[in-house]
Amino acid sequence: MLILSVESSCDETAVAVTRDGREVLSDKVASQVEMHAIYGGVVPELASRSHAEAIAGLYREAIREAGIRPEEIDAVAATFAPGLIGALLVGLNFAKGLAFALDRPLVPVHHHRGHVAANYLAYPELEPPFCALVASGGHTLILGVDGYTDYRVLGCTRDDSAGEAFDKVARVMGLGYPGGVAIDRAAEGADEHAYTLPKSRVDGAPHDMSFSGLKTAMINLVHNAEQKGETLPVGDLAASFRLAVCEEIVPRVIDCAVSEGYGKVVLAGGVAANKRLREMMTKAAGEKSLRLFIPPVRLCGDAAAMIGAQGYYEFMAGHTSGMEQNAYASLDADYKLLPRE
């Protein structure tokens, strides 16, 4: 089954063609990183305009690279939630127009589920049930994946996402955007125990996280040093912050997997590319005899192939929609019915 998929939830415009949820025939991505780097983060209006400019060309490239004709497409999938609402609407409306023109089903796909499904492209043997971490610039949550379309939220951040904390701290430190990559680079070979940073705890919700206090502590540390005319060791500070973020995440994911009886753990999202997080998850999972699935770095970021992978399973479950389908800036990954107007 061939699915043409579209992703435009943030600052990547992407169109892909996938087969049966496991094989990528093409995956074209237009990144906006350089444009948004000027501002130190994503500017929603600029992101939406760039999606509108790029999407038709990417569609033609994806079809050509896949070596198919549009008439061979069996369904059209698109991210419908969550994300920047203007950006989402560009991709979803393009997908609607294509589905209508080709008389094919429209398959709305949740962005978080798409990130998890990126692992299906890397690991043909991977099947639910498993515990999944989705960590990116917009979201950090722990999911129980009991079936391809059967999700439970086991834990989530109560404020900033891990990726957002990386971006904001990197900006204050003058390391640039995107922050996760910049901090990873600065932390290489540095002392990650040089600074003791605060840890969070959410009463009554041991698997929930908070990154706001950690981010604020880092910002205050940098600002106080600037006011005193002191020069901080950037590498040590970056390494200490990276470790603190990982220590918020790793024990909670492992505890979720063990307490819920999952034998497999999956990483997903842009923060899953973080070198220290991958190392710590590998060690922690091994200590508990859990099978760990980490996608290659190229499958951690936003792309349309992951939407096509999850779109296949949504289609097989009968989760299609019509031209009335709307986009939503926020929606939990464990939704049971597609929201309607």
Task: Residue 62: name the closest of 102, 120, 4, 116 by CA.
Answer: 4
pLDDT in tens, the chain (341 residues): 999 999 999 889 999 999 999 999 999 999 887 788 877 778 889 999 999 999 999 999 999 999 999 999 999 999 999 999 999 999 999 999 999 999 999 999 999 999 999 999 999 999 999 999 999 888 999 999 999 999 999 999 999 999 999 999 999 999 988 888 999 999 999 999 999 999 988 889 999 999 999 999 999 999 999 999 988 999 999 999 999 999 999 999 999 999 999 999 999 999 999 999 999 999 999 999 999 999 999 999 999 999 999 999 999 999 999 999 999 999 999 998 766 54
Helix H or strand E encompassing 135 = strand 130-135
Instruction: Give the number of domains in the chain.
Output: 2
SS3 (DSSP) at 247: helix
CA 208 to chain centroid, in Å, comes to 18
**CA–CA distance, 147 with 149 (Å, rounded to integer):** 5
Domain span at 197: 128-297
**CA–CA distance, 192 with 328 (Å, rounded to integer):** 39
pTM here? 0.93
Per-residue exposure over 9-35, b if at least 16 CB sit within 10 Å of its own CB, e if not = bbbbbbbbbbbebbebbbbbbbebeee
**CA–CA distance, 143 with 141 (Å, rounded to integer):** 6
Q: Would 304 be classed as within a structural domain? A: yes
Query: CATH number, domain at 68?
Result: 3.30.420.40
**CA–CA distance, 10 with 20 (Å, rounded to integer):** 26
For tokens 């929930």, the residue is 208
Does 198 lie in the same domain as 92?
Answer: no
Does 19 lie in the same domain as 35?
Answer: yes
